[in-house]
Structure 1
Amino acid sequence: MSALLTAVVAAITLVTAAPVYPQPGPGTQVLDQDAKLTGFPERGWFKANIPFVDLPDKQIESVYYYRWRSFYEAQKYTREGWITSEFLGPVGYSAPDGGIVAAAGHHVYEGRWLRDTRYLDDYLRYWMRGSGAGPKPATEFLNKNTTDWAHQYSSWLADAALRRAEVTGDVGFAANLLPELKRHWERWSPQYNTEVGLYWQTPVWDAMEYTASSYQSPDPYHGGDGFRPTLNSYQIADARAIAELARRTGDRATERTYRERAESLTKAQEKWLWDKDKKFYKHVMRDDNPDRVKIADREQIGFVPWMFHTAPPGNAEAWAQLVDPQGFAARFGPTTVERRSPWFMKDAERGCCRWSGPSWPYATSQTLTAMANLLIDYPAQSYVDKADYVALLRGYALTQTKDGKPYVAEAHHPDEPRWLYDGRNHSEDYNHSTYADLVLSGLLGIRPRSDDSVLISPLATWSHFAVENLAYHGRNLSVVWDQDGKHYGRGQGLRVYLDGREVARQADLKPLRVSVPRGAVKPLPRLVDDAANVSGSGFPEASASYSNVGNGDLPAQANDGQNFFLDVPNTRWTSYRSPNPTDWLAVDFGKPTATSDVRLFFYDDAGGVRVPAWYLLQYKRSDGSWTDVPAQTRTPTVGNDLTRITFPTVTTSALRVLGTPQQGSSFGLTAFQSWRG
């Protein structure tokens, strides 16, 4: 091929190649985004996807950006598209390809703020239509009460799908899942008690082992089956969401049916689970409890009804317990059971996982979501205020540290600066809760709506803060608060921008509803990564000329569908300590496969593993020989970032990267991807 023809083909490839990231479009430039992302991998992903914030409390801010990085790490590409993982490494009780439904509602609440909608589109399909909705063994280890993965644990998926639609403006996607959402709701029916009018759940399948209520049963690990404010609130919220989606599609019969079901459950929850004397929602044992006596202890799950607006305004006195030193208050709290309980911190130091007092991010994020709803959506009350919300969020941020850096694991000591449950090569960057959503929808008060508007109702009372270029209804939303006008130089007061243009302002932080005309949403095409193999068995199969086996840097780590740059756990192949002058990593597709868009992520630890001095992308000919892929167009090779190679379509059974390391080092890849439309 002549040099001129090669250049022409390369130019055409650049024009026709699908964009990697969504284009943010016009917006404000109040914040220095590059400075906020110092030290981050693949900064282009974050700049295209996340809302940027500027907060005077740098502890809360640093954890905000860290939690977006950990959410990025949790995206796993599978044979069914993207899912959001809970653990970065595999566990034995997950659904196919690693999904765990326990925190799926949290994942959707958090991920709804991403500009690229493909992640949650795929994830919701996985739980509703994919293998996440498929059959599972009804065993003690995997929950003997249910027969499909989506019901292994309690969840609130219909509600989460609707709340996500309020951010994206695309109610149609959630409405399209309506048949599956109805089926998902109905499949809880075996755990519905007609006498009480509520659902029962085994505490462990609420993702809560060894709770205060569990210790009062014959089975402290699983816990006694009981009527709980968790699953019942989730079912109320999901029924309401289904009714709303049915209303949007004109299905009045379904709307009426599910509104009635939600109302019936709400009345039953109030009748049976609200303790009028102790002013709290509680667990009620199902068995050997004919009078339906509530347990004596207040557990943190008693705040869950406010997370879904299922508690009436008159029950607000429960929130006095959140700030009570004998209730749930703690430096690194809240605690999972009140301190008055005789079960408080029982056996908590014996090992994971005991929800009898430790601070649990899963529950903390539920409580903070519930508290924001109480303060913004409910009538005024005298038990907690905005300052309490900020203090609790700050305590949550202080919890999420380790060795002076942001970090989240499974559970934290409520009174001491240490993680209780933090298993090496297991708990790192544990994705079992929300945080960014709490900053955006609670602290900064970005309250999504299903109509063409947004409510701005901040709980922060600082002198300044900003959220910039938040993807909302196809527009870029920015909110800047500057009490004296000196911090951002845009004038005093609260200012709201759409696509970089100021559309509203006011002098104070009172709630402000702003009209948001729908923008043109242009979702990126769904692509397939033919190189990904989550299971590591069969094809596509990765191999290498040399691997640092002792450190676990195996070839299959480079095409496992995950892409992050941690030392522990690792998900990379390296040639560390290789005696070879050059090394290669290959992916065998197992059959002739068309390829034209390869994305490489070279690992760089600034020490023994660096980006290669040079590399070649090669494909296997039909005769088994290797040759360079012609007419390659490459982006710059940067460690811990995307290197994209586009070229005219080649059909081949295998690709490989052949590289020479820099002097005194080796090279490695955290991800080897081959994408097609």
Structure 2
Amino acid sequence: MSSSAGGTTILDRDLLLKGLEDQPWFEKNIPLLEIPDKHIQEVYYYRWQTYKEHLVYTGAKYGYMASEFLNRVSYGAPYGGIVAAAGHHITEGRWIRDTRYGQDIAKYWLAGPGQFPKPMRDDVNKDTSDWAHEYSFWAATALWKQYLVTGDKDFIVGQLANLVKQYRGWDTHYSSSLGLYWQVPVWDATEYTAASYESGDPYHGGVGFRPTINSYQYGDAIAIAKIAALCGDSELEHEYRSRAESLRTALQKHLWDSESNFYKHRARDDNPSGSLLGTREIMGYLPWMFSMPCDDSQLAAFSQLTDPQGFLSNFGPTTAERRSKWFMYEAENCCRWDGPSWPFATSQTLTAVENVLHDYPAQNYIAPEDYYEMLHRYARTQYRNGEPYVAEAHHPDGDRWMYDGYNHSEDYNHSTFVDNVLAGLVGLRAQSGESIVVNPLTPSNWDYFAVENIAYHGHSITVLWDRTGSVYDRGEGLRVYLDGQLVGSRRTIGLIKVEVGPSLPTHVSSQINIASNGQRDPQLPIAFASYTCPADDPMRAINGMIFRRGIPQNSRWTSYNSPNPKDHLGVDLHKDKAIDNVRLSFYDDAGGVRIPNTYDLQYWVGDAWVPIPGQVRSPMPTSSNTETKIAFPSILTSRLRVEAPNAGSGVGWGLSEFEIWTSSE
């Protein structure tokens, strides 16, 4: 992807990106961050590593999607997608410079496998019929937030009809008498809640009118209205603004508990009085994630985030208030939402607080200092054994992950963090027009921070804070750069709005990887090898997934313990294809599998393997999973292979992925 004019070169990118696998990818794609809080900074880069790890190339037809678990689970959509956290995935990925990933993820759910029919069974939601509605999903809001960063009007307008279809897919869950949507907690991705326990069916029970889906539908109605306005469809804009306003009114009337100052769950069945759940749950903050409430007195709800009997905890916030009789009930058993700290909810709550602090009138219930402490606790939560780590849910008080299944929960992709750092802490408030607002929520005692070369509307934005001017040698105060040029400054931390001009078009590659076969379809390419370690599999090297080393999940082929002096891994395409571009991701575990000191890329000429002529190679990688590119004049062949020597004494070599990129099938 090509993008903006040159940015700045202020930060030490090699130092900041040290330890990340495939460092060149991060150099090209992510904003660099330097802040005094080393927990937040370290987790920021870790979460980028894990986000990349979850980018699954599904194949030529559908491109990339973002996975939730590294290994596929039985209740997922084709290729392993789970829609529960898709809103998080799109929002987090909006800061990647190459917009293909985010666009592909959106299309996977709205115009691809997400639209495939699914069984209407208890294990995959008996009340919905396609994969994009298995769980609640704030689709239009996520795409609108993506657009605010990318500025790609054509793409989001092109998704408008799909977003309307996705919105109307929840009509089956709408109550015309209340003007609200109902949902089962488990299909909000929040099983074993106080509401479901009170229903008598802790896992599949608790159907009710909830702040979750109604906030999502409100946010999506507003987003659809804004997209309609972009393309001049005033009728559709008016329809969805009316839908949003009706939802706002109904939420306030039926789900606001004026006694406890909180939005709560209302049981749908066996509830003639319309009573609300007695327990405050963390989902009560979701309306502010979408800037839904307009009664500023309701901001008193945020006092519960700093209340020791509310949601406050060492590794929190909790998912149910401590006052509740259900707090941590049976919580040692997975997967309870009655107290444990879930990053899914923590990141949503942080987004709600960001909106309150940036967009609502000043109040005395939650302050920037509280926000920073929440974000810092969230970062500290994401460690295990002293190293950055995220799983499913953490104990609210003890330093341990509660729901952390071996070879299952590692590097769990179920939340945002990067987006909270950039949009919240640094205060990058993306706009739909030709401007950007910077309004940091950073601590007042910080002497410096920087975020460099943010991809924004096809430009590069850099934000620096240097109290004395001695850290970055660019002057004192807060400074904003556009494509390398200073465009805004002030002496103190505060709001700066700068004009960036029209969005610049960005090129989204249309190339496809014709080697990929994550579904193990026998009609698609097949991998083969001269020897394979019994723990590995040649087909894993063409499954579209590259996992970092240090985790038990295995997405690789290796020649570990091979008796041969050299081994090969190849791809059989079944028929001749024109090929001129191969990319290899060599795996290195610093032990029994090492990057080879040389390799030979060969093709089949009908009766023999011969080296591909005219190869232009990127340098041999020095770290695991760094993409190695090989370009050459086009050849016509049905098979390719890589051959490399083994180091001896059982030490072999390996590949996480063997890719063949072409312009078309």
Q: Distance in 2 between matches of 1:365 and 1:486?
A: 34
For normalisation by structure 1, the TM-score amounts to 0.95
- Give 1:522 shift: 2.7
Secondary structure of 2:136 counterpart: coil
> 8 Å contact 1:64–1:435 — kept in the other structure?
yes
* Corresponding residue for residue 576 of structure 1: 560
Counterpart of 1:427 in structure 2 is 409
Matched, 1:442 2:444: no
Q: Deviations over 1:6-65 (max 9, x none)?
A: xxxxxxxxxxxxxxx546641111110110011111111101100111100111100001
Aligned partner of 1:149 in structure 2 is: 131
Q: Which residue of 2 aligns with 1:120?
A: 102
Partner of 1:512: 496
Q: Displacement, 1:650?
A: 1.4
1:541 and 1:556 in contact (8 A); partners too: yes
Aligned pairs for 1:213-292 (under 5 A) are 213-292=195-274
8 Å contact from structure 2 (residues 434, 503) kept in 1: no
Q: Secondary structure of the residue that 1:141 maps to in structure 2?
A: helix
Match of 1:492 in 2: 476
Aligned counterparts, 1:243-392, within 5 A: 243-312=225-294, 313-350=296-333, 352-392=334-374
Alignment match, 2:433: 451
RMSD (CA atoms): 1.1
Q: Which stretch shows the higher mean deviation, 171-180 or 429-438?
A: 171-180
The structure 2 residue matched to 1:71, chosen from 51, 58, 62, is 51
Can you list the C-alpha shifts for 1:360-410, whole angstroms capped at 9, x where unaligned?
A: 000000000000001111001101100100100000000000111100000
- Contact 1:107-1:434 within 8 A present in 2 as well: yes
Aligned-partner SS, 2:199: coil
| 2:529 equivalent to 1:547 | no
Q: CA deviation at 1:646?
A: 0.8
2:448 is matched with 464
Q: Which secondary structure state, in structure 1, belongs to the residue aligned with residue 129 of structure 2?
A: coil
Q: Which of 599, 611, 615 is the equivalent residue of 1:632?
A: 615
> Structure 1: how far apart are the matches of 2:604 and 2:541?
19
Q: Which residue identity lines up with residue 34 of structure 1 in the other structure?
A: D
Aligned equivalents of 1:197 and 1:226: distance in 2? 13
Task: Give the C-alpha shift of residue 172 in structure 1.
Answer: 2.0
Does the 8 A contact of 1:22 with 1:49 survive in 2? no
Q: Aligned equivalents of 1:22 and 1:574: distance in 2?
A: 34
1:391-410 paired onto structure 2 within 5 Å: 391-410=373-392
State the AA in 1 paired with 2:282.
Q
CA distance, structure 1, for counterparts of residue 5 and residue 611 of structure 2? 37
1:526 pairs with one of 510, 519, 539: 510
Q: Is the 8 A contact 2:564 2:646 kept in 1?
A: no
Look up the match of 1:17.
Answer: none
- Post-superposition Cα deviations, 1:508-539, rounded to whole Å, max 9, x if no partner, equal 11212111112533313221101111112412
Moved more, 648-657 or 143-152: 648-657
Give the 3-state SS of the residue equivalent to 2:602 in structure 1: strand
Aligned residue for 1:654?
639
Q: Is 1:674 aligned with 2:649?
A: no
Alpha-carbon distance in structure 1 between the residues aligned to 2:602 and 2:631? 13
| Local SS of the residue matching 1:230 | helix
Partner of 1:642: 627
Cα shift at 1:218: 2.2
Which contiguous aligned blocks of 4+ residues in structure 1 show a shift greater than 3 angstroms?
A: 21-25
**Which residue matches 1:15?**
none
Amino acid corresponding to residue 675 of structure 1 in structure 2:
W
SS at match of 1:650: strand
Residue 413 of structure 1, aligned match among 386, 395, 399: 395
Taking the aligned partners of 1:24 and 1:402, their CA distance within structure 2 comes to 38
Alignment deviations for residues 322-357 of structure 1 (CA, whole Å, 9 cap, x no partner): 11000000000000000000100011112x211110
Which secondary structure state, in structure 2, belongs to the residue aligned with residue 438 of structure 1? helix
Partner of 2:595: 611
Cα deviation 1:244-299 (Å, max 9, x = unaligned)? 11111111110111110110011000101110110000000000001110010000
Could you tell me which residue of structure 1 aligns to residue 8 of structure 2?
28
Q: Is 1:561 equivalent to 2:544 in the alignment?
A: yes
The one-character-per-residue Cα deviations of 1:90-147 (angstroms, maximum 9, x if unpaired) are 1111111111110010011100001000001111111111111121111111100000
What's the secondary structure of 2:122's corresponding residue?
Answer: coil
Query: Are the equivalent residues in 2 in contact too, given 1:614–1:661 (CA < 8 A)?
Result: no
Letter in 2 for 1:95: A
The correspondence of residues 578-597 of structure 1 with structure 2, limited to 5 A, is 578-597=562-581
Counterpart of 2:647, as a letter, is Q
Decide which of 460, 485, 488 is 1:501's aligned counterpart.
Answer: 485
Q: Is the 8 A contact 1:565 1:670 kept in 2?
A: no
- 2:211 maps to amino acid: P
Q: Aligned partners of 2:80, 2:12: CA distance in 1, in Å?
A: 36
Q: Give, in whole Å, the separation in 2 of the partners of 1:575 and 1:475.
A: 44
**Percent same amino acid among aligned pairs?**
51
Cα distance in 2 for residues equivalent to 1:223 and 1:513:
48
Q: Structure 1: how far apart are the matches of 2:69 and 2:102?
A: 17
Distance 2:162 2:381 in 1: 38
Paired amino acid for 2:356? L
Aligned to 1:4: none
Aligned twin of 1:50: 30
**Offset, 1:608:** 1.3
Q: Distance in 2 between matches of 1:651 and 1:268?
A: 63
| Alignment correspondent of 1:37 | 17
Tell me by how many angstroms 1:76 deviates.
0.5
Unpaired stretches in structure 1, ≥5 consecutive residues: 1-20
Q: 1:59 aligns with which of 35, 39, 44?
A: 39
1:76 and 1:83 in contact (8 A); partners too: yes
Q: Which TM-score applies when normalising by structure 2? A: 0.97
1:205 alignment partner in structure 2: 187
Residue correspondences, number: 653
Secondary structure at 1:204 match in 2: helix
Q: Distance in 1 between matches of 2:636 and 2:70?
A: 33
Whole-Å Cα distance in 2 between the matches of residues 129 and 399 of structure 1? 36
The residue identity in structure 2 corresponding to 1:378 is Y
Unaligned 5+ segments in structure 2 are: none
CA apart distance, 1:467:
0.8
Question: How far does residue 613 in structure 1 lie from its aligned partner after superposition?
Answer: 3.0
Q: Is the 8 A contact 2:4 2:458 kept in 1?
A: no
Please say if residues 621 and 652 of structure 1, whose CA atoms lie closer than 8 Å, have aligned partners that are also in contact.
yes
Deviations 1:588-607 (A, max 9, x none): 11222221100001111222
Which SS does the other structure have where 1:82 is aligned? strand
How far is 1:616 from its partner? 1.1
**Equivalents in 2 of 1:173, 1:131: separation in Å?**
19
